[in-house]
Amino acid sequence: MELRGKFANVDLDALVDNRVVRTWLYFGMFWLMVTPSVGVLISSTFNYPDYLGSGNLELTFGRLRPVHVNGVIFGAFSTLFIGLCYYLVPRLSGVRVIWSEWSVLLAWVWNIATLAGLVGLLFGDSDGLEAGEFPLYAKVAFFIVVAVATAQFLITISRRLEPAIYVALWYLIATFVWTTMNFVLGSFILPYTISGINSAAFHGLYLHYIVGLWLTPAGYVIIYYFLPISARNPLYAHKLSLVGFWSLALFYPFVGIHHYLYSPIADWAETLAVVTSMLLIIPVWTVLVNFFGTMMGKWHEFGRNLPAKFLIMGSLMYLVGCFQGSTEALRQLQQPTHFTDFVISHSHLTVFGTFVVWAMGGLVYTWPRLFGRELWSFKLGNWSFWLITVGITTMGLVLTAGGLQQGYQWMNGVEWLDSLVWVKPYWLARTLAGISMDIGMSLLVVNLMLTALTSPAAEARRVRGPVEAPIPAPAGGPAQ
């Protein structure tokens, strides 16, 4: 792609510190194989309660679930996301990321803290706040890494070659600034100084700040950069992307209390959460229109474009998951859904089905380029895609159906223990779906490792034949 303006004579590939990006992505792939698998391990206990034993507290559901949740959020997704940021920021800014020599150390600090925190959770060292269970020593490390990365990216972007800021950088700036502040709330204030019903209210805010001010804009960073460049099409509407940005910034900070409807929290706060939850339809639909509009004229190439397949599949999951999230915030619809597997369906479709899948799309695009070669096997990558897609789709469907059945049984007076009998088949299907997803992710990581290990000579022999999935040429600049 021809670059113009101040980018005309810039070698974008030379601006990227490949060693930094590889380090972060190596760690991310490790967590991608490990932490979702913990979910399969604990979901199996729903049908076979004693298969992990009954005398070991470290293998109980209450210890393993926060390992799964925090491992997926802070291990798999966040590590991949930060690594991808070190790839796309210099390419969109036209300058190298400052203090690059610190970035590998930051990767080690982040991942050692993740490992230490997960082990601590197994042994009961937990703050007891969902998505904030990690012990203080892990949270301090996370805060330091995010704060330093924030400074790196902000200063780098401030030195950009062109004054215009592409939308992916808008979201990136917001992601890191918002999350640095949120870590102050969730790590150093909330667990120690706020109690009672106020603790529940602020925890609802903190929890949704992790989802809405970290995972969501971080996911937008990934897809707004990698979808246009993998599809070789310009972004459909830059102005529409800014509508999505400002509506997300305006509405998302208030939605967290919708987890606590029918509670002693002030009614005005609950109502505000309900209203803003419905208004989130605006950023959701604007970004989805942008994503599908970007693919116009390129759908005929879609089947051979593996990164775009992951990104668009994640967008479909985002559509369904966010529809669930907004509707279940309504008081009348929360009655048959709250405390049921319907909520678990929503969280899996958004956190994994959307954001982790988008991160995998960015990973599949970036990784071969870091080694200057093609993906080892498009066919194996396609198997990975379909195993993950079938798995997360099945999981979303069975948990939604099972959750609604649970809720309406409770509303009709069925005893809680009796209701469990009817949902056991749904739980078994959920476990099988999780196994499909884990196999798909493992095959993806194997594919990427073989890509990295392919010797140049062997690769040269391999690409003489028909190339199954040509990689789009790298592109950059503010117009991407």
Q: How far apart are CA 126 and CA 339, in angstroms?
A: 22
297 phi and psi angles, rounded to 5 deg: 85, -5
User: Tokens for 385?
Assistant: 């895609």
Structure tokens at 221: 């960073």
Can you read off the two tokens belonging to residue 122? 């197994």
What is the distance between the alpha carbons of residues 280 and 286, in angstroms, rounded to a whole number? 10
Sign of CA dihedral 26, 29, 34, 38: positive
Alpha-carbon span 68 to 111, nearest angstrom: 15
CA distance 219 to 310: 12
- pLDDT for 468 equals 34
Taking CA atoms, 300 is separated from 231, 295, 297, 420, 472, in Å, by 11, 10, 7, 46, 15
Can you give the pLDDT at residue 1? 56
CB of 402 closer than 8 Å to CB of 50? no
Distance CA 133, CA 110 (A): 16
Whole-number Å distance between alpha carbons of 300 and 302 = 6
Q: What is the pLDDT of residue 6?
A: 81
In this prediction, residue 53 carries a pLDDT of 86
pLDDT at 2: 64
Residue 478 CA to residue 158 CA, distance in Å, equals 14
Measured at the alpha carbon of residue 19, what is the angle toward residues 140 and 469, in degrees to the nearest 5? 115
* Segments making up each domain of the chain, as ranges: 10-164
Distance CA 356, CA 78 (A): 9
Residue pair 474/13 in contact by the 8 Å Cβ criterion: yes
How far, in Å, CA of 163 to CA of 272, rounded?
37
> Alpha-carbon distance 175 to 280, whole Å?
17
Angle between helices 136-158 and 167-183 (to 10 degrees): 150
**105: how many CB neighbours lie within 10 A of its CB?**
12
Structure tokens at 369: 């380029």
Nearest CA-CA partner of 235 in 243, 227, 244, 246: 227
How far is residue 381's CA from residue 469's CA, in Å, rounded to a whole number? 10
Is the pTM here over 0.85, yes or no? yes
Please give the C-alpha separations between residue 460 and each of 127, 379, 453, in angstroms, as whole numbers. 53, 19, 13
What is d(CA 476, CA 1) in angstroms, rounded to the nearest whole number? 8
Per-residue pLDDT of the chain (480 residues), as tens digits, is 567 788 888 889 999 999 999 999 999 999 999 999 999 999 999 999 999 987 889 999 999 999 999 999 999 999 999 999 999 999 999 999 999 999 999 999 999 999 999 999 999 999 989 999 999 999 999 999 999 999 999 999 999 999 999 999 999 999 999 999 999 999 999 999 999 999 999 999 999 999 999 999 999 999 999 999 999 999 999 889 999 999 999 999 999 999 899 899 999 999 999 999 999 999 999 999 999 999 999 999 999 999 999 999 999 999 999 999 988 999 999 999 999 999 999 999 999 999 999 999 999 999 999 999 999 999 999 999 999 999 999 999 999 999 999 999 999 999 999 999 999 999 999 999 999 999 999 999 999 999 999 866 444 444 433 333 333 333 333 333
String of b and e for 347-375 (b: at least 16 CB within 10 Å)? bbbbbbbbbbbbbbbbbbbbbbbbbebbb
The pLDDT value recorded for residue 8 is: 83
Q: Give the integer Cα–Cα distance in Å for 98 and 103.
A: 9
Residue 162 exposed, middle or buried by CB count within 10 Å (0-12, 13-18, 19+)? middle
